[in-house]
A and B are shown apart, each in its own frame.
Chain A
């Protein structure tokens, strides 16, 4: 079974631009969660989508948004990029809405650099 895939793997943008990242979950998985990982803040939860609906949300500004399609693929959008948005963006999939017994499987990540 193929794992979680994320595209693109690397991205360079300038301040003020916007960016869209894509995540395809493991086949049959309906939940996709997005995380931001930086050396200073570690791994931080952005939001989770299940059945095309945002179910859970972290503490990030409204510039960070996402959506999920009927085939469970998800996109994350960051508008008006700031230097501090430079990070590794990871998505994770699980069969159901994330819960105590649901293991999340992480994708390889998208490395975003904002200049």
Chain B
């Protein structure tokens, strides 16, 4: 059973701080990784995806990928109360013929004003 593991949290950070969200995956065949944000009572929305080792930046968000360690992270700089949500990490199975995303159970982030 291929798995994606996340710390369930809750992770609490003060406004303006850097929030660091971590994710590990078990399928070495995974090629692409996704971070979704889900506000309470809402559906997930894609923040960014990454498929190359290293960092990928988009505004206040930076995704980091280390395939050797099977580790993905999401950094949120200058955290705002509006960033309070559950963050879902997902990995694909590009190496297989039955393409699908496997999601972690999510990390609840709370940004305190």
Contact = CB atoms under 8 A, between A and B. Distances in A.
A106 B43 contact: yes
A103 B101 CA distance: 12
Size bracket, chain A contacts: 20 to 34
Contacts of B98: 56-57
A84 interface: no
Contacts of B45: 106
A99 B99 contact: yes
A100 B94 contact: yes
Nearest to B105: A42
Interface string B87-113: 010101010001111111110000000
B80 interface: no
Nearest to B92: A100
Interface stretch (A12-20, A43-51, A65-73): A43-51
A97 B99 CA distance: 9
Contact of B100 (A45, A107, A109): A45
Nearest to B104: A42
A56 B103 CA distance: 16
Contacts, number: 53
B16 to A, nearest CB: 29
A90 interface: yes
Size bracket, chain B contacts: 20 to 34
B102 A45 contact: yes
A57 B99 CA distance: 8
A56 B100 contact: yes
Contacts of B49: 100-101, 103
A98 B90 CA distance: 13
Nearest to B102: A45
A91 to B, nearest CB: 9
Contacts of B100: 45, 48, 56-58, 98
B71 interface: no
A109 B81 CA distance: 25
A90 B88 CA distance: 15
Given A42-B103, A42-B104, A100-B92, A109 B46 contact: no
Interface of B: 31-32, 42-46, 49, 51, 88, 90, 92, 94, 98-106
